[in-house]
Amino acid sequence: MDFPHLHLLLNHFPIIGTIVGAGLFLTSLVVRTEDVRLTSLIVFIAVALLAIPTFITGVGAQEKIVADPGISNDLIQRHEGAAELAIWFMEVTGALAVVALWQCARRVPPAPWNTLAILVFSLLTVVLMARTGNTGGEIRHSEIRSAEENTAPYAALAYFEPSPAKFTRLMIVNKWWWAFMMDMHFFGLVLLIGTIGMLNLRVLGFAKQVPIAALNKLVPWGLAGFGMNVTTGLLAFIGMPTFYTHDIAFVLKIAAILLAAAAMVVFYLSGAFHDCEALGAGKDAPLGAKLIAGTSLVLWFAVIVLGRYIQPLQDSIAR
């Protein structure tokens, strides 16, 4: 399966998933059902994660079809600009959903500011994702272009969309800016591994003198580190999209990140966390929790190793 087919397969998830998540979230506000609200938060987080490989495969798809007869590079650039704007709103929505999900796991009532922010950002993301899907369809379907281009909403959205080429140049315009981004990426990884890693090790049976609940209080720092990694990682990818797209180590790293994030969600939603939360010093975690923790630890270790090998393995995927 090449990049165009993979991108075509993946791009349905962010577009449709955002609509589903927003619909469920609105329903939960109307009927005040916690299960529906929880489901909507999970959908938002899943879509935010899936939006990353969708965005990445778009670069490979562009390189594959740009030389085809009848394909306009201007339309591709417009679609890419729409995607660059939409993905940031999607990631913010996902981050807000993580905060809300964390409050649910801690049995804390949802904060009003968080509920309002999720509502606003999710609705805006629905619009932006629809715009992204529409501009993508225009690349090969000329019959839908003229009807949309001259409308006021279309022009308003286009005004805020970044120019992909200018955005890319902005990311690599200065070596000190790039170094700063890489430092922040490393710092975020330290926060993430230092907190989630310690929690996983404790669940596996190391340092039993430390209560699991005490380590769990550090997890928000790990989530903040993950947010830093997503932000700086996306900016770095936008700065050198072709370099990363054709790097097998980078592709495997993204896959490992998605699986590690899924393992963390399973840990907190499957009941494994609640089985461990009350364990005091010297107590052993259940087998199910250990399996999740071990899987998570291996995946995050893979993320570190693959990140280290991105440069030596560059251009290892056939173009």
C-alpha span between 76 and 139 (Å, rounded): 6
Residue with tokens 């990049």: 3
CA distances from 130 to 95, 127, 134, 135, 198 (A): 20, 5, 6, 9, 41
Domain ranges of the chain: 1-162, 163-319
pLDDT one-digit tens code per residue, 239-279:
888 888 888 899 999 999 999 999 988 888 887 888 787 77
Taking the model in full, what pTM does it have?
0.86
Per-position pLDDT tens, the chain of length 319: 678 788 888 888 999 999 999 999 999 999 988 889 999 999 999 999 999 999 999 888 887 777 777 777 778 888 888 899 999 999 999 999 999 988 887 777 888 899 999 999 999 999 999 988 888 877 766 655 555 555 666 666 666 777 778 888 888 888 888 889 999 999 999 999 999 999 999 999 888 888 888 888 899 999 999 999 999 999 999 988 888 888 889 999 999 999 999 998 888 888 788 878 777 777 888 888 899 999 999 999 999 999 888 865 444 444 4
CA distances from 138 to 62, 72, 292 (A): 14, 10, 43
